[in-house]
Amino acid sequence: MTDRCRALGWAVAAAVVASLAVIPAGGTQYVRSFFLLLFMYVTLAQSWNMISGYTGYLSFGHGVFFGIGAYTAAHLVTKFGWPFPLALLAAGGMAVLAALLLGVVFMRVRIRVAYFSITALGLNEIVKTLVVNNEWLGSSHGLTLPPLPYQWVLFYLLLAFAAASTLLMRWVDRAPFGLGLKAILQDEEAAEVNGVPTFRLKLLVFLVSAFFPGITGAVIAWHWSYIDPYMAFDLVISFDMAVMTVFGGIGTVWGPVLGATLMGILTETLWVKVPNLHGLIFGALVVAIVVISPGGLMEIGDRVRRSVAVRRWWPLVREGESV
Amino acid sequence: MSLGIYAELLAFGLAVGGLYALTASGLNLVVGVMKILNIAHGEMLMLGAYTAFWAFTLWDVHPLLSVLLTGPLLFLLGVVIHQLVVRPIIRVSPTVERLERATLIGFFGVLIVLQNAALLLWTADYRVLNVLQTPVPGLHISVARLAVFLVSLALVFALHLLLMRTRFGKAVRAVSQDRDMAALLTIDVKTIGLLAFGLGSAMAGLGGSLASMIYVTTPTMGLMFTLKAFTVMVVGGLGSVLGNVVAGLALGLAEEFGAFWIGEAYKDVIDYVVLIAVILLISYGYLKRRELA
Amino acid sequence: MTESPLLEVRRVEKRFGGLRALAGVSFAVRPGEIAGLIGPNGAGKTTLFNVMSGVYRPDAGQVWFGGQEVSHLSGHRICRLGIGRTFQAVRPFLDMSVRQNVLVGAHFGAADGGRRGLRERAEELLEFVGLRRKAGLPPRSLTLVERKMVELARALATRPRLLLLDEILSGLNPTEMAYATALIRKMRDEMGITILWIEHVMRALMSTCERVVVLNYGQVLAEGTPAAVVQNPEVVKAYLGEKRVKAGG
């Protein structure tokens, strides 16, 4: 990519972020909420992408970290009187802790992807069951959350999360760290004997991939102003982040953004009336994508780019140049 | 604590365990032949349960009789999924790792589709089939549970006979053990795969018919069954019918007795702990399951 | 002439369930030599490589490298200490470019991992194995010998002191074999890398190695110069009575 192209890219990105930032000032409550949720989808998709796309360990129950974050913050504020900013950090911390406990056991060996996936799938359900059945944790009654004096901050927090997670992935993709992750994805054993500290990298990525859903959960909990286990640990959250990433382009930087934006728009506009229809169609889309174009929209974009007619005014980047 | 309580737990555990063994056998078939993990396996069971429920509610078909309906129906669904999802994925996957990841995502999609279809069609309301609730004279369990126990084991045994005595069964075992060799012996590996997948789904469907008698039927019931089937399959050993039966019964008993001490709601947690323990034992090399590791 | 060995294997054992793949293997590799490791199929050669490179932990016995015990270190630590390897079923990272393959080794496997000169070193290695012109392609689109060269360059990028080569000549035609064998000599002569080489292509191995270790049923059967080993009746018997050394594999 030429320097001019790169500068243009940054300018566009800045313009997009700036225009998004002024929405609360001008838009209605509905519009604000709409974009807020879009930012949530992008953040969650990127988080899923981090672990599932870049290491290949498909974390199908990843929404559990969202729920843990939501509940941690909710409890700290309502039961212990913590200030929200601190509770937010603690939410992230708790999610990371959970990921750490899981990770030190599961990532130390070259575990088969299917095993990890099935464990991840069950984890969401189990934590939900634990919360539902535990009085101290809140049980199924749920918690009502006091609105913040600065509720508008939630919008900007999520915008920041979306931007931060995307920028982080962009950096990871180009850095040696990302190279190591891709090597793990390709052939973990070969990576290990060539010096890649697979356990360390996998664990680190897993921790970060849990942090973002954790803090997002805390923020969204306040957006909802009420949480119960069925909302916070809704399987739909886990499904959505996976589907959006796969649809947009698993293992790429912009795939999750693309997928989350498109599918987020669809979800919030068309199908909020019939919630399960959206699940049905998303599921079918995932199957279609895996069969037709496993790399999602990004791969379709690549194929289009490679077609001769387009190549003249959108030259291919030569492989290996970004590293 | 009267002996009666223990007898009851034992009976419950065995009944449920038989069902787990049945579900696991179906999964066993799929994993053994296709070498891929169908995480939507439990959804087939769910659909089987709903089929049994509606057959009973609409046409007074006894759930035990409904197996004649659910078996073929879910077999068909299995075939459809195999053709629409599995085959195309195999075609575009050059390596084993790619295949595994792609099928996991694909089956995840199937899971979402089936669960949401059920939610759309039948809502999340609990469906209960009150049939055969009368207790067996002399024993502490209902006829339903006894029936589930006996029929499950009968079906597993039938599958065992199918695999051991028929030509089809031998072909299936051959493909499970050595795909390339089987192909060399002019076994139609592709068709065997198709039939195995269909049969495995049918087994899950049959399990669903039985499950509808002792469980509450909901659209989200499938997931836990998938996890349990997987646990049983791994503990029992891939391809070992006896192992699956023993492991299934053991899990059922562990569930009931554990829940008795810890609390009914934590049944699933117990299963999950066993699942994790088993996965870790295999991955760390303490439990030898070469075919699965 | 008695320098301390670079690599020492002491009574290493490895079991898989009931199978004893390695039943007490002991030998040493001297710095600067090209040593061969041969034996019938199933003798435990690749298992031994896996133990040496940290893929497996030995059930008993020890592995010493450069005066340090490495038996229970993880694979990446052993790589950083200076043991590199290639695999029997050639395993480059298929969907990353050749250059990226080498960079993985350079970034992660070299003890210095030095940022400076990393790319230059990668380019040199690509030149060394003859893949500079194809550096931007993924190994998936390369031929077998080219894929082996990718794996080799990747391993070399980790700055190994000892290189474990696992049947690097299998599947190659005579020209390619000669090319690879020449590279092996160059690695020792120009880069000072000690080589331990598993191979079934006897002619190439016997004419290149100074010393050969013969493994059978997880134990060392014989050790010595190629000439001595070839005439050892035990060795001949182990190879199912084949009296003539097969030419070209």
Tell me the DSSP string of B210-222: HHHHHS-B-TTTH
Please state the separation of Cα B288 from the chain's center in Å: 23
Nearest CA in chain A to C158: A194
Decide if A121 touches B, using CB distance below 8 A. Answer: yes
**pLDDT averaged over chain B?**
87
Residue B290: the pLDDT is 57
CA distances (Å), origin A266, targets A179, A252, A302, B117, C117: 34, 22, 24, 18, 49
Identity of the residue numbered B237: G
Which residues on chain B are in Cβ contact (under 8 Å) with A133?
A: 263, 265-266
**pLDDT averaged over chain C?**
90
Phi then psi dihedrals of residue C225, to 5 deg: -70, 155
Q: How far apart are CA C32 and CA B218, in angstroms?
A: 70
Residue B291: the pLDDT is 60
Higher local confidence (pLDDT), A64 or B261? A64
Which residues on chain B are in Cβ contact (under 8 Å) with C92?
A: none
Is residue C114 a contact partner of residue A230, using CB atoms and an 8 Å limit? no
Q: Which of C53, C107, C137 sits opposite A193 (nearest CB)?
A: C53
| Shortest Cα distance, chain A CAs vs residue B102, angstroms | 6
Give the total number of structural domains in chain B: 1
Residue C2: the pLDDT is 58
Q: How far apart are CA B66 and CA B54, in angstroms?
A: 10
CA distances (Å), origin C146, targets A196, B84, C98: 23, 37, 10
Contact A111 B283 (CB under 8 A): yes
Is pLDDT of A322 > 50?
Answer: no
Residue B245: the pLDDT is 93
Q: How far apart are CA A41 and CA A27, in angstroms?
A: 20
Domain of residue A117: give its range: 3-311
Phi then psi dihedrals of residue C164, to 5 deg: -100, 115
**Mutation site, B39, B82, B116, B269, interface A, largest A CB count within 10 A:** B116
Is pLDDT of C155 > 80?
Answer: yes
Contact B288 C94 (CB under 8 A): no
Instruction: Say if residue A36 is exposed, middle or buried (CB neighbours under 10 Å; 0-12, 13-18, 19+).
Output: buried
Is pLDDT of B293 > 80?
Answer: no
**Mutation site, A110, A193, A306, A322, interface C, largest C CB count within 10 A:** A193
Structure tokens at B213: 């008698």
Decide if C94 touches B, using CB distance below 8 A. Answer: yes
Is pLDDT of A137 > 70?
Answer: yes
pTM attached to this predicted model? 0.90
Largest CA distance in chain C: 55
Measured CA angle at B107 (ends B102, B110), to 5 deg? 135
Residue C113: the pLDDT is 59
| Shortest Cα distance, chain B CAs vs residue A149, angstroms | 37
Give the total number of structural domains in chain A: 1
Phi then psi dihedrals of residue B237, to 5 deg: 95, 130
**Structural domain includes residue B292:** no
Nearest CA in chain A to B35: A114
Identity of the residue numbered A91: A
Is pLDDT of C127 > 60?
Answer: yes
Contact C158 A189 (CB under 8 A): no
Is residue B227 a contact partner of residue B235, using CB atoms and an 8 Å limit? no
Q: What value of ipTM does the predicted structure carry? A: 0.90
| Shortest Cα distance, chain A CAs vs residue C35, angstroms | 21
- Tell me, what DSSP letter sits at residue B238? T
CA distances (Å), origin A129, targets A96, A143, A213, B210: 20, 16, 20, 25
Q: How far apart are CA C73 and CA C78, in angstroms?
A: 6
> Across residues B101-112, what is the average pLDDT?
91
Radius of gyration of chain B (CA): 19
Residue A323: the pLDDT is 29
Is pLDDT of A314 > 90?
Answer: no
> Across residues B127-147, what is the average pLDDT?
73
- B149 CB contacts (<8 Å, ≥6 apart)? B11, B14, B15, B17, B18
Residue C215: the pLDDT is 93
Is pLDDT of A319 > 60?
Answer: no
Instruction: Say if residue A230 is exposed, middle or buried (CB neighbours under 10 Å; 0-12, 13-18, 19+).
Output: middle
Q: Tokens 């194995």: give the residue.
A: C129
Task: Give the SS3 label for residue A164.
Answer: helix
Which residues on chain C are in Cβ contact (under 8 Å) with A320?
A: 97-100, 135-136
Higher local confidence (pLDDT), B223 or B263? B223
**Structural domain includes residue A323:** no
Closest residue by Cα to residue C143 from C178, C106, C92, C183 = C92
CA distances (Å), origin C81, targets C19, C52, C76, C209: 31, 12, 9, 24
Q: Residue A318's pLDDT band (boundaries 50, 70, 90)?
A: very low
- B115 CB contacts (<8 Å, ≥6 apart)? A279, B43, B46, B219, B220, B222
Q: How far apart are CA B143 and CA B134, in angstroms?
A: 6
Closest residue by Cα to residue C12 from C27, C22, C2 = C22
10 Å Cβ neighbour count for B80?
A: 12
Q: What is the DSSP string of B52-103?
A: HHHHHHHH---HHHHHHHHHHHHHHHHHHHIIIIIHHHHHH--SHHHHHHHH
Is residue B11 a contact partner of residue B253, using CB atoms and an 8 Å limit? no
- Tell which A residues from 177 to 236 touch C, by Cβ distance under 8 Å: 179-180, 182-183, 186-187, 189-199
Min mean pLDDT across B35-39, B68-72, B155-159, B180-184 is at: B180-184
Closest residue by Cα to residue C6 from C177, C196, C156, C183 = C196
- A155 CB contacts (<8 Å, ≥6 apart)? A23, A24, A32, A35, A36, A39
C195: left (phi over 0), alpha (psi -120 to 50) or beta: beta
Nearest CA in chain B to A132: B265
pLDDT digits (tens, 9 = 90+) for A241-256: 999 999 999 999 999 9
Identity of the residue numbered C159: R
Contact C17 B290 (CB under 8 A): yes
Which residues on chain A are in Cβ contact (under 8 Å) with B104?
A: 58, 60, 113-114, 117
Contact A195 C105 (CB under 8 A): yes
Contact B105 A246 (CB under 8 A): yes
pLDDT digits (tens, 9 = 90+) for A37-89: 999 999 999 999 999 999 989 999 999 999 999 999 999 999 899 999 999 99
CATH code, domain carrying B182: 1.10.3470
Q: Which of C76, C93, C96 sits opposite A197 (nearest CB)?
A: C76
- B4 CB contacts (<8 Å, ≥6 apart)? B140
Contact A194 C108 (CB under 8 A): yes
Which residues on chain C are in Cβ contact (under 8 Å) with A197?
A: 74, 76, 108
10 Å Cβ neighbour count for B62?
A: 15
Report H helices in C31-88.
45-52, 75-81
Decide if C110 touches A, using CB distance below 8 A. Answer: yes
Higher local confidence (pLDDT), B35 or B25? B25
Chains touching chain C at 3 or more Cβ pairs under 8 angstroms? A, B
Q: Which of C92, C99, C108 sits opposite A196 (nearest CB)?
A: C108
Phi then psi dihedrals of residue C232, to 5 deg: -70, 120
Q: Which of A187, A196, A319 sits opposite C97 (nearest CB)?
A: A319
Q: How far apart are CA A232 and CA C59, in angstroms?
A: 47
Closest residue by Cα to residue B148 from B265, B223, B235, B52 = B52
Min mean pLDDT across A97-106, B88-97, C9-18 is at: B88-97
Residue B1: the pLDDT is 53
Contact B288 C17 (CB under 8 A): yes
Higher local confidence (pLDDT), B79 or B259? B79
Is residue C69 a contact partner of residue C63, using CB atoms and an 8 Å limit? yes
Is residue B149 a contact partner of residue A320, using CB atoms and an 8 Å limit? no
pLDDT digits (tens, 9 = 90+) for C168-186: 999 999 999 999 999 999 9
Min mean pLDDT across A71-85, A164-178, B90-104, B223-237 is at: B90-104
Is pLDDT of B167 > 80?
Answer: yes
Nearest CA in chain A to C119: A323
Residue A1: the pLDDT is 55
Contact B95 C17 (CB under 8 A): no
Closest residue by Cα to residue A154 from A211, A77, A217 = A217
Which residues on chain A are in Cβ contact (under 8 Å) with C105?
A: 194-195
Q: Residue C109's pLDDT band (boundaries 50, 70, 90)?
A: confident
Is pLDDT of A313 > 60?
Answer: no
Closest residue by Cα to residue A208 from A230, A177, A174 = A177
Nearest CA in chain B to A112: B293
Q: Locate the domains of chain C by residue range.
A: 1-82+160-249, 92-159
Share of chain B above pLDDT 90, in %: 38
Which residues on chain C are in Cβ contact (under 8 Å) with A193?
A: 53-55, 75-76, 78-79, 84-85
Domain of residue B29: give its range: 3-283
| Shortest Cα distance, chain C CAs vs residue B278, angstroms | 17
Q: How far apart are CA B245 and CA B19, in angstroms?
A: 9
Q: Yes or no: is domain C1-82+160-249 CATH 3.40.1160.10?
A: no
Is residue B200 a contact partner of residue B27, using CB atoms and an 8 Å limit? yes
